Amino acid sequence: MNSRGREPWVVVGLDNGGTSNSATLLDSRGRFLVNELFESPSRVREGPEVAIGALVESLDRVLALTDRPRGSVRAVGLGTPGPASAEGVISARGATNFSEAAWHRFDFRGALERRLGVPVIYSNDGNAAALYAHDSYFGREATVRSSISAIVGTGLGGGVIEAGRVVRGAAGMAGELGHVHIPMEGLLAEGQPIPQCNCGFAGDVESVASLTGIQNNLLPYWLTRFPDHELTTAESIVEAAKLVRGYGVAGDPLATEIFRQQAMALGRLFTIASNFLDPDGYFVGGGVVEASSSFREWFLAEIRENTSLREEQADVVSFALIPDLDMAGARGAALAALQWLESS
């Protein structure tokens, strides 16, 4: 007979996205109990109350999948896109996924914790994916390694890991890699305007290495250099930008120029990181790594080529693509919650 106190416990990881929640389970020994992507609607556009309900449902469903009772949950890791504070309070100005006024300054972590009655540990989604990338790459050596992860999506997210832990910073804003300024000299082509970022900076990493960067900066310029390109007939620049990856995989010259500039931007970011942190691992994720294997290997090689390392560093560091990207957020959020339990 099992007494309740001796039942094995689990940690749930929940990744809250613009359209879906992804959920996973971790046991007390750090093993993932769900091998596949487990998604359900996030309903964030219906406001905080409905979205919290959707997260609870997603938690209950992943528990049911593995036949674990709610009482076996010792902690929950919650990941969301930013900007939010280190404690999971959504920015006063809202955020892309949380535009309704009810979300502004909403204590997302606290509200879920009150609803569930177990500790909820917050991570921003970039940091969570970085933690998962680090842990899965270094395994048993994770606690004595450091890494930087850059994830190319609508924006440029990621995180910094030192000694196996996320570097959060004083205000929870460490690892905002997208808004690091990088040199533009030698990156831009002749007559190409300085790329502008939505954050107000000019010439930061996200202004080049993101879908938004393609749409606002790179594609408008490169279409002037390839005036007969098929993409000039796309419905809008927004639609055209989404098609660039497919062209890149097919070896299209315009798209290749765009991805070469993105790889150069990431290499320049990693060069800055090599002098700041000197990490063991440089990881890259995002839609681009879901492309064909020859394309992503080319992209990673271009990034490495554009990262200036000292000889001693080049001998010991690794470059790799982040695996299981669609599950990385939930898995990383669960790992962060397990770390919290172990240290509390």
Summarize as ranges the residues that interact with Zn ion (CB under 5 A): 179, 197, 199, 201, 204, 206
Closest contact distance (angstroms) between CB of 160 and Zn ion is: 17
Q: Quick one: CA torsion of 147, 152, 158, 164, rounded to 10 degrees? A: -30
Nearer to Zn ion, 201 or 319 (CB): 201
Nearer to Zn ion, 48 or 158 (CB): 158
For residue 203, the minimal CB distance to Zn ion (Å) is 9
Question: What's the angle, vertex CA 115, arms to CA 113 and CA 119, rounded to 5?
Answer: 25
Residue closer to Zn ion, measured from CB, 136 or 210: 210
State the minimum distance, in angstroms, from the CB of residue 105 to Zn ion: 23
Q: Give min distance, CB of 201 to Zn ion, in A.
A: 4
- Of 22 and 217, nearer to Zn ion (C-beta) is 217
Closer to Zn ion by Cβ: residue 125 or 206: 206
Rounded CA gap, 229 and 226, in Å?
A: 5
Q: How far is the CB of 52 from Zn ion (least distance, A)?
A: 30
**Residue nearest to Zn ion according to CB distances in the complex:** 197
Spatial neighbors of 157 by CB under 8 A, at least 6 apart, are 81, 82, 124, 125, 126, 129, 150, 151, 177, 178
DSSP assignment of 96-137 equals TTB-SGGGTT-BHHHHHHHHHSS-EEEEEHHHHHHHHHHHHH
